[in-house]
Structure 1
Amino acid sequence: MRFSVFTASTPDWTPEEVVRHLAAQGWDGVEWRVVDQDPAPDEAPQPGFWKGNRATWPLTGLEAALPEIAALTRGAGLEYSGVGGYARSFEHDDVARLLAATAILGAGRVRVTMPLLSTGRYPDLFDATRKDLEWATGLAEQHGVTILIELHHETIVSSASAAMRLVDGLDPRHVGVIHDLGNLVIEGHEDHRAAFELLGPYLQHVHVKNVAWRPVDTAADGTVTWAHDWAPLRTGQAHVGRYLRALTAHGYDGWVTVEDFSTEVPLAERTADNLGYLRSLL
């Protein structure tokens, strides 16, 4: 397996700092976040994972930034595990831009995000997204790249079963699935071995983070309300070691991309420790 970091989880670093730290720590690759993000809010001006993230490349003007992205990545001796795009499947112009950029970079794969459940009736969303993916897969073939669909809570593909139903019959050379350990703690968990076997050739990428459910409120009648929160790799509810062993037993030997959104440990220490921990588990 090869290990990379998704830069959504490195908001404090500039792209120059990302490649310097990751290369020095011994990571194999980087997965760049690409999105037109909102600035950090006035009440919290420091960079955040989702707003004001310094390690994010804007989608607007992306084409002009490609030479710099390539020079930084290759200059540090890192590879691309993929491009972390945020264009939704129905945003055809943005999807096309990301596919073209991925081909120019030689990054191979790019994430295209799926509709949120809150945006419509599931059957309607599913049918429209299937048509979108048929179009996008054809375009990906023209560019010689692969679209990645992430298993993600609150979307139409929270589980391997749902994703398989969506992509079944499409060309696995140009569309695949990101199996995300942390997201599945929130929604969509299925036995890992069964999920890997179900996905077959569509299992093409892995994201690793961890999550813990914590009680946040107790009503007068004793009913407890729980909420999920990001946790370090060692202490969340998912057992990372068992997960990696299941991947190995299945024969998976591709990219494992870390997106650790916990904040208990400073960023540089966190990324270095995560890599050491993952390698120790293998």
Structure 2
Amino acid sequence: MKFSVFTASTPEWEPAEAARILAAQGWDGIEWRVTDQADAETPGFWAGNRATWPLTGLEGSTDEIARITAESGLDYSGIGAYAGIGDHDNVERTLAATATLGARQVRVTMPPADGGDYREKFAAARTDLEWVAERAAAHGVRALVELHHRTITSSASAAIRLIDGLDPAHIGVIHDLGNLLIEGQEDFLSAFQMLGPYLAHVHVKNALWRVTDEAGFDGSVIWKEEWAPLRLGQANVEAYFEALSTHGYDGWVTVEDFSTELPLEERTADNLAYLRAIQERVTSRHVD
């Protein structure tokens, strides 16, 4: 496996700084965040993120993205874009940029599950994905559907229903350990087997559920999810890697750690050490 970091999780670093530090720590690749974001006085994961490239006019940034990435010695695990599946102009923009960069694969985002009729959204998304598959093939890249809570593809079961029959060379799925703790959790190995050739990429983060100060009308407990360090969340990361190994997955694993207990540079270094140690243990068991 190869390990990378999604720059949504490195908001304090400018692009060149992110690439330099991650390369020095020993990461194999980087997954650049691409979106038009709001400004913020303090850099944050979702607004004012300094390691984010604007979606509008992305084609004008590809030379700089390529230069920074190449000079660091990092590879692309993909492009973490936020173009909605129905936004054909921006999907086309991200597909073209991915091809220009040689980044191979790029995320397209799915409709939210809230509001409207689910079946209608699902049918419309399938029509859009058929178009995306054609455009991805034209560019020689692959578009990725992420398993993400509160969207129409929160589980492997939902995703395979949506994409089944499309060319897995040009449409794939991102399996996301942390997102599935919030919604969509299925047995790891069963989910990988279900996705089959569509399992194209893996995101790793962790989360946990905490009791809130709120209460239901009858005094019942209200829980809420929050992101957690890889070592401290509820997901069994080693069991996840065990299932990936059993399935034969040997592709990219991209970390997007949205916890803040550790300073950013210490956080990314510790995550790599933790995951490499897990990989070594899992590999040794399978070799034995």
> Which of 103, 115, 123 is the matching residue for 1:107?
103
> Which of 254, 259, 271 is the matching residue for 2:251?
254
Is residue 234 from structure 1 mapped to residue 231 from structure 2 by the alignment?
A: yes
1:218 Cα offset (Å) = 5.2
| Equivalent residue letter for 1:59 | L
Q: Could you say what secondary structure the match of 2:39 adopts?
A: coil
Q: Could you say what secondary structure the match of 1:205 adopts?
A: strand
Equivalents in 2 of 1:12, 1:83: separation in Å? Answer: 19
1:61 Cα offset (Å) = 1.9
Equivalents in 1 of 2:209, 2:114: separation in Å? Answer: 22
1:120 Cα offset (Å) = 2.0
TM-score (normalised: structure 2): 0.95
Tell me which moved more, 256-265 or 114-123. Answer: 114-123
> Which of 63, 66, 85 is the matching residue for 1:89?
85
Equivalents in 2 of 1:184, 1:104: separation in Å? Answer: 32
Which runs of no fewer than 5 residues in structure 2 stay unpaired? 280-288
Equivalents in 2 of 1:119, 1:145: separation in Å? Answer: 32
| Equivalent residue letter for 2:122 | F
Counterparts of 1:81-230 in structure 2, within 5 Å, are 81-217=77-213, 219=215, 221-230=218-227
CA RMSD of aligned residues (A): 0.8
Q: Could you say what secondary structure the match of 1:111 adopts?
A: strand
Equivalents in 2 of 1:58, 1:157: separation in Å? Answer: 25
1:221 Cα offset (Å) = 4.0
Q: Residue in 2 aligned with 1:277?
A: 274
| Equivalent residue letter for 1:205 | H
Is residue 48 from structure 1 mapped to residue 48 from structure 2 by the alignment?
A: no
Identity %: 66
Q: Could you say what secondary structure the match of 1:118 adopts?
A: coil
Q: Could you say what secondary structure the match of 1:216 adopts?
A: strand
Which runs of no fewer than 5 residues in structure 1 stay unpaired? none
Equivalents in 2 of 1:39, 1:118: separation in Å? Answer: 26
Equivalents in 1 of 2:43, 2:214: separation in Å? Answer: 33
Equivalents in 2 of 1:199, 1:221: separation in Å? Answer: 41
Equivalents in 2 of 1:115, 1:218: separation in Å? Answer: 29
Q: Residue in 1 aligned with 2:55?
A: 59
Equivalents in 2 of 1:21, 1:237: separation in Å? Answer: 28
Tell me which moved more, 209-218 or 78-87. Answer: 209-218
Equivalents in 2 of 1:208, 1:273: separation in Å? Answer: 14
Q: Residue in 2 aligned with 1:2?
A: 2
| Equivalent residue letter for 2:121 | L
Q: Could you say what secondary structure the match of 1:117 adopts?
A: coil
Q: Could you say what secondary structure the match of 2:55 adopts?
A: coil
Q: Could you say what secondary structure the match of 2:114 adopts?
A: helix
Number of corresponding residues: 278
Equivalents in 1 of 2:21, 2:214: separation in Å? Answer: 43
Which 4+ residue blocks in structure 1 deviate beyond 4 angstroms? none
| Equivalent residue letter for 2:157 | S
Equivalents in 2 of 1:209, 1:218: separation in Å? Answer: 26
1:92 Cα offset (Å) = 0.3
